[in-house]
Amino acid sequence: MSLEVKGLCKSYGDKMVVDHISFTMEKPGVYALLGTNGAGKSTTIRMMLGILEKDEGVALWNGKDLNFDNCRIGYLAEERGLYQKYSLLDQIRYFGRLRGVTGKVLEDRISMLSERLKLDEYLFPEKFAREEAAKNASKEEVSKPKRGRTIQKKVKPKLADQL
């Protein structure tokens, strides 16, 4: 498995926000794009995935163009992306069912993810009121179920923006 980014560029008018970035990730692992606010990290990820049109450059997954049309990709965006009126547990169940995971398999997967991501206090009624809407959760609390949603996908690669 390899991810190769060559010469990605993006500008808005006269402002260059990503300037010929190139890198290769040849081994499985956890990698990070580091930079200050506004440095172009999210823009780079969105260009890699084909969500945002690139001015120049390519992003390749195992030698093939990396984008949503030809590759199963798990992507965790920075935005909240949660339904404000529903509990975090209900939302994870909902997204699991959308992917065809139901019943005991879904509940077992939620339990595993809850333990792995330390979500118990946010997902289960005895520790966190089930009626608690996502709108009352902090950015950190919201990001944990989103991570669970992304990890739940049986796809590679998985890309995250602002974990």
Greater pLDDT, 77 or 51:
51
| Rounded CA separation 117/96 (Å) | 16
Mean pLDDT of the chain: 77
Q: Which residues neighbour 37 within 8 Å (Cβ) at sequence distance 6 or greater?
A: none
Burial of 68 (0-12, 13-18, 19+ CB in 10 A): exposed
Domain assignments of the chain as residue spans, ordered by start: 3-71, 88-154
pTM: 0.54
What pLDDT digit, counting tens, does each position of 36-64 carry? 888 899 899 888 888 788 999 999 988 88
Which comes out higher in pLDDT, residue 10 or 69? Answer: 10
CB distance 59 to 47 below 8 Å: yes
**Looking at residue 20, what is its pLDDT?**
96
Q: Per the omega criterion (within 30 degrees of 0), is the bond before 157 cis?
A: yes
